[in-house]
Chain A
């Protein structure tokens, strides 16, 4: 299965944030989006996830096999700046909710809640309310959310912000394991993720948009 984006552009307010972005990633491949602050990395990821309208172009999945996805978004996990976990509920309740509510996409299945917590190195504290955890622990538990329900595509927006070096290595391991199961990943990041050889996409920033504004 491949995720193909063709000539995407997106607008925020009056200005085009980026224009004519195309990429094509296949099973087991990762794309790292790089660029300075404000160059549109997060916007691009949200457009791919279907959370923002796109100005032109399209995103589609190719070669899904027997189980066609209704939308691209339904094949994706999105790990944004916010963790999407409730502070009042325990970690286990949070993860169980996302496991049940999101469910598994066709093709593979997610792992158990305890196994997911172990995978992010925080086994044994799933009974605590999410709000009690430190920022780094919260981020790790948000990553565990990616593991409990299977989605072929992971969209990761600054996934390793607030994490220590060991946790970055741990996360690189998770992404590699995901890729080896035939998954895809798109990540926007400033730090090297330690994934080895990956495709890179450099976002130029406002240049084009301002050029158009002056034209």
Chain B
């Protein structure tokens, strides 16, 4: 299993792996917002957490369609399906590798981009924390979508559309947790715990659904 994790991380950072694509897209989206909205610092600070979360959500969805498609194209998926290792575990490890390569950079880049949005330190910290907890959920849901669309050429947009409704609760609780952290008197903990619960639930459902879809997709 460590072998799979290491291999997927290597593939992500080598040419064509796409680890940086997500974070570059995230930066592009967030960097153009202040130009579009205008130099109203209070407005930017108020919408900042929501913009960061939307940008991170879209960036996290960007590379997901390749999660299993690349394996299928070169025949690796056949061999992965044949192993004694439970497929659910393999999918979980692939999700972890994908999150480390594409989700974690988003979390790390978020404080920098928060400066663009004139956010103060508590809002920055809350955004970073909620992204850290929430982005794995997007990867797990996305894995199920990627597995459903694995046999479709250009399934990228389809994956995003399939996955988006399920990712909406993550977005809602992520953003509301950040607002709760910076605005009195809303408590921070309830939405944050909901977000954590969502990630844990999808960590179970996502790989199980993805494994079932991969088994059914053989041709």
Interface residues in chain A, defined as those with a beta carbon under 8 Å from any beta carbon in chain B: 46, 49-53, 69-71, 73-74, 76, 78, 80-89, 93, 96-98, 100-103
B10 in contact with A98 (CB, 8 Å): no
Query: Cβ of A49: which chain B residues have Cβ within 8 Å of it?
Result: 78, 82
Interface residues of B in 130-174 (CB under 8 A from A): none
A102 in contact with B16 (CB, 8 Å): no
B83 in contact with A102 (CB, 8 Å): yes
Interface residues of B in 60-110 (CB under 8 A from A): 73-76, 78-85
Between-chain CB contacts (< 8 Å), 29 pairs:
A49-B78, A50-B81, A52-B219, A53-B218, A69-B84, A71-B84, A73-B82, A74-B84, A78-B78, A80-B75, A82-B75, A82-B78, A83-B74, A83-B75, A85-B74, A85-B76, A86-B7, A86-B11, A86-B76, A88-B14, A88-B15, A97-B4, A97-B7, A100-B3, A101-B1, A101-B3, A101-B4, A101-B83, A103-B84
Counting chain B CB atoms within 10 Å of each CB, which of A51, A52, A69, A70 scores highest? Answer: A51
Min CB–CB distance A109 → chain B (angstroms): 16
A74 in contact with B82 (CB, 8 Å): yes
Query: Cβ of A46: which chain B residues have Cβ within 8 Å of it?
Result: 218
**B17 at the binding interface (Cβ < 8 Å):** yes
B3 in contact with A74 (CB, 8 Å): no
B83 in contact with A74 (CB, 8 Å): yes
Min CB–CB distance A25 → chain B (angstroms): 19
B10 in contact with A51 (CB, 8 Å): no
Q: How far is the CA of A5 from the CA of B46 in the complex (A)?
A: 67
Q: How far is the CA of A23 from the CA of B85 in the complex (A)?
A: 28
Q: How far is the CA of A109 from the CA of B11 in the complex (A)?
A: 28
Min CB–CB distance A126 → chain B (angstroms): 16
Q: How far is the CA of A92 from the CA of B83 in the complex (A)?
A: 21
